[in-house]
């Protein structure tokens, strides 16, 4: 049974979800690591990291299959997220892609279904697919990923577009561009922001200034980087394929950064001074 997370974040509906969850990009691709990755996901749920994020793109469905195995018997403990590839994101394709994800995940519904990024299909087509899925009880909420403020403003003018629950974007100490316009816009519109790659796939951990802050707080650089994201009112979904890393990630939930630490991080990783195109990995 999962323990309650010490930090939650609210969706537009008012439902609270764990502020720190688990990502699965690159999981499920190495058979030699499968059992360890499954153990890591299960431990994360035990520790209250109950938002589990995946996508049909990850390992061409392999990550979803891994998640389905890891969550067997525990589905009701988890807020489960997956994503439709843009090439599948017309009305019928969105429904078919979701049904494929549901099969791989061994579940009858997703808690949140995202458009992975915007491409050739009009947003109206994807919205129609999301509506069909909601009416069929196959998804509870829908959202987007990698949409910048101009795209979000357009989306919310479409019929039903103001029901968008989440924008999942690249955000970490290295990638603060959304603070100029997208993050304030989402806050004003009531859209929850979720950060993928919150430690920049490990590259952040090599920065000396981050290590110095971590040492001063008796924490690890990973914990400080994740705690910083949470301090911004943004949900985080770090990927971890090992139980030890999951335990370390969970420590960020209990770490509150004092003003001097936040100031040191701002000096080392300055906030944006103007509009910046949305970055992606």
Mean pLDDT of 111-122: 95
C-alpha–C-alpha distance, residues 52 and 58, integer Å = 13
Is the per-residue pLDDT at 256 higher than 80? Answer: yes
Tell me the C-alpha distance between 193 and 181, whole Å.
13
pLDDT tens-digit map of 129-138: 999 999 999 9
pLDDT at residue 30 is higher than 60: yes
**Mean per-residue pLDDT for 19-37?**
95
Say how far residue 203 (Cα) sits from the centre of its chain. Answer: 18
Q: Is residue 38 predicted with pLDDT exceeding 70?
A: yes
Mean pLDDT of 161-175: 97
**For residue 247, what pLDDT is reported?**
96
What would the mean pLDDT of 218-247 be, rounded to a whole number? 96
Which one, of 202, 174, 199, 204, lies nearest residue 270 by Cα?
174
Q: How confident is the model at residue 120 (pLDDT cuts 50, 70, 90)?
A: confident
> pLDDT by residue (tens digit) across 212-223?
999 999 999 999
Residue 162's pLDDT band (cuts 50, 70, 90):
very high
Q: In what order do the strands lie in the sheet with 110-115?
A: 51-53, 79-84, 110-115, 139-145, 166-170, 192-196, 235-236
Give mean pLDDT, residues 183-200: 97
**Predicted local distance difference test score (pLDDT) of residue 1:** 47
**What pLDDT is recorded for position 6?**
65
Question: Mean pLDDT over residues 101-113, rounded?
Answer: 98
Selection from 137, 93, 138 nearest residue 115 by Cα: 93
Contacts of 137 (CB under 8 A, 6+ apart): 108, 109
The bridge status of strand 8-10 relative to strand 16-18 is: antiparallel
User: How far is it, in rounded angstroms, from Cα 67 to Cα 84?
Assistant: 16
Percent of the chain beyond pLDDT 70? 98
Lowest pLDDT segment from 11-15, 19-23, 82-86, 201-205 = 201-205
Q: What is the pTM of this model?
A: 0.94
């Amino acid at each position: 049974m999962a323990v309650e997370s010490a930090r939650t974040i609210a969706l537009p509906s008012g439902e609270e979800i764990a502020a720190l969850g688990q990502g699965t990009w690159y999981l499920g691709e190495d058979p030699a690591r499968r059992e360890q990755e499954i153990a890591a996901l299960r431990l994360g749920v035990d520790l209250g990291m109950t938002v589990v994020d995946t996508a049909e793109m990850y390992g061409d469905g392999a990550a979803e299959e891994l998640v389905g195995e890891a969550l067997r018997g525990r589905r009701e403990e988890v807020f489960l997220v997956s994503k439709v590839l843009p090439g599948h994101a017309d009305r019928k394709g969105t429904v078919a892609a979701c049904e494929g994800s549901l099969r791989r995940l061994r579940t009858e519904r997703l808690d949140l279904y995202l458009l992975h990024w915007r491409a050739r299909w009009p947003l109206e087509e994807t919205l129609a697919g999301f509506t069909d899925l909601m009416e069929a009880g196959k998804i509870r909420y829908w959202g987007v990923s990698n949409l910048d403020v101009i795209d979000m403003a357009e989306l919310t003018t479409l019929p039903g577009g103001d029901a968008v629950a989440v924008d999942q974007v690249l955000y970490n100490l290295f990638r603060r561009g959304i603070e100029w316009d997208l993050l304030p816009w989402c806050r004003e519109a009531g859209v929850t922001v979720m950060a993928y790659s919150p430690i920049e796939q490990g590259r952040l951990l090599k920065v000396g200034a981050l290590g110095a802050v971590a040492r001063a707080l008796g924490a690890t650089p990973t914990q400080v980087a994740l705690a910083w994201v949470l301090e911004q009112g943004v949900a985080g979904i770090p990927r971890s394929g090992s139980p030890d890393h999951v335990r370390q990630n969970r420590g960020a939930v209990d770490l509150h950064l004092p003003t001097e630490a936040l100031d040191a991080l701002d000096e080392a990783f300055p906030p944006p001074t103007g509009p910046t195109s949305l970055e992606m990995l």
